Structure 1
Amino acid sequence: MYIRVPALVAAAVILLAQPVLAEKKYGPGVSDTEIKVGQTIAYSGPASAYSLLGKTEAAYFKWLNETKGGINGRKITFISRDDAYSPPKAVENVRSLVESDEVALIFGVLGTPLNLAIRPYLNKKGVPQLFMAAGSPAFNDPQKYPWTMGWQPNLHDEAKFYAKSLLAQNPHPKIGILYQNDDFGKDLIAGLKDGLGPDADKMIVGAQSFSPTDPTIDSQIVVLQTAGADSLFLFSYSKQAAQAISKIWDLKWKPATFLHLGAASIGSTFKPAGLEKSVGVMTAGFIKDATDPRWASDPDMVAWKSWMKENMPGADINDLLTISGFAFAQTLEQVLRQCGDDLTRENIMKQAANLKNFRLGLLLPGSLINTSPDDYRVVTYMALQKFNGSSWDEVK
């Protein structure tokens, strides 16, 4: 025993001195060489302009695989399918992605109604639903839906921000609202009323709804003008926003116009409507615009333009959707890097809820991403911006 004990102690010291290799933990869709990411998005139908999000994300993951070998040595297999902006089709696609393709997570789905439709299934199955292109406050409910996390400023906060901005300019506005008749539009109206305060119903002189499949919203705009509105809120996506801006111009009507940030795209909204017709439209800016002279020499913008030229040479860099898709993908990359070799669905969600002072170079200065298990909001910083016919001016 007197001989063996020192020998055993020495052996133990040697073992303790060796580096401890963390055990690899994988969930569905992950191996030593691959991480499968699933998406359903509108490549056709009334919201097809937003397909640019999916195309940009696909280009980003392809570039990531080719130039960096993927993430922590694993390449991203990105499976993105068309849902034509149909909730039933989105549910069908997601079921197939989870059960047949066995993806690790669902990423970047477009639209509030579609994300609400797929949320129950994904939470029941324990599949992360990350960084969707939708801003409903319903996607910040970690207690009830711990597998669902948004990305952009939520709709309630956005509309409340518009209300405060309007009241600072006009204490007694006559408000007209054009809104998509679903949870997306209704969330924005709720936030607007909250921001306007107890006299909200007195200030709102008209509210007109539409369906995403309606061919035109011209009659709704005429009704809101007739109601005497001097302030107009366009709670819509790009197609209807462009139609509304064009009709307002035709009517020679000049209300103070606030546009949902998801539709505030020069390429998808203002160009189809007419750049001259779009002058004066305001939105809640949260991300840099490639057309803005302020960012002409910005290192992050210069690097992004170079990336676009190499990886998406046919795309319009003036379209905000390309910047948004790039930023969505960068955020997912950060989450997966933080996961290291623990790529279970549980740890992917844990890391998404533990982003600390994460800075995306294409967000406006002053914006840092901080998430927690109790607060799933990702981007929270906003600044009021007005379109000048070619780029955005900040409204002081």
Structure 2
Amino acid sequence: MVPSRLLSSLLALPVLAFFSLSASALPRPRTASSTAALKLAVRINSYGIKNIAAADRARIQVLQAGGSASVNATNTVTTYTASIGVGSPATYYTLLVDTGSSNTWIGGNKAYTQTTASRDTLNKFKVPYADGSSVSGEEYTDTVTLNSDLVIENQSIGVASKTSGMGGLDGIFGLGPADLTQGIVDDAYEVATVMDNLYTQKQISSEVLGVFFAPASSDDSSGELTFGSYDASKITGSINYVPITSAYPANTFWGINQSIRYGSTPILDETAGIVDTGTTLILIASDAFNLYQSATGATLDKTTGLLQISPDQYEQLSSLYFTIGGITYELTPNGQIWPRSLNSAIGGTTDNIYLVVSDSGDSSGSGLDFTNGYCFLERFYSVYDTTNS
């Protein structure tokens, strides 16, 4: 396992992987060949609210209620975006990458350009946000271009007529399980996702998605999505697959079971939660958070909503250990702090040390007791495998 302090130079991550229990395809061998990659860009939000802990909690509360919460971009400090083509010839849109929702929609900042490939289904769509607002409009099917190797025909896309909180982004690129499309589009129980269509249209041989996020403090704060496989050059060690949890509501997302300890002290027994690119922080149940705060000696900073520690406390900080499927992943002290170069983006003081572990707002036992967000995924490569159920 690569120590987190070295990631800025090595940019090769330990890896964990999940499979969906809803797949019906026959098992196929997992290989690292024939990959098709899509580069991502990272954007640091300079607008909207500063309290990212409150924004993340609001999102998770919607998910705990069984909703499908898309990302409100103005409430997210660090966002990963992809340039996606729609139409033929393609018009390119900057879309936020979200594994916590599954519908793809455009029109938040840039108007939809129709071509001969565009077809209006006359169905309405509506996606709720975690803060209570929503995006709504009309469903179309159209050609979607991810890169020169990946072109999807007749992909369902939402064309927004009413949006809020997108902060200059054009829409959402939904990469969650297909179940999350239920109830989003009128007259359609469920719609085929981008990953579904890539597979059924034989653009990829296995319904696998590899996600690489470079740490925000590194020299290359970018990322990459790999469709149909994973990028072996980005990882160290072996791939460790775990099944989707059986606990609701985590099992409707990319949900897993894990336990967490701080140093040698257990703070969260094995329980269900989710891995989510649409959440910035690492959220844990309130009882676990209280144990973590006590162990670190941190105090709560009201401006950012984050825990704050002194330089002396940082020197005493222990690693966090996440055990998933019998494999333990170490998040070193460096991995637990918000990048100090980005303190101003969250309304913090330049030299302060803030922790990225925050309170989910509910006690353990909710069925969604943790969320491993960006700050976790920037340290560990993740693979999402639907085909190999």
TM-score, normalization: structure 2? 0.30
Q: Going by fraction, where is helix more abundant, 1 or 2? A: 1
Pick 1 or 2: higher relative contact order, CA cutoff 8 A, min separation 6: 2
Tell me which structure has the larger Cα radius of gyration.
1
Which one has a larger percent strand, Structure 1 or Structure 2?
2
TM-score by length of 1: 0.29
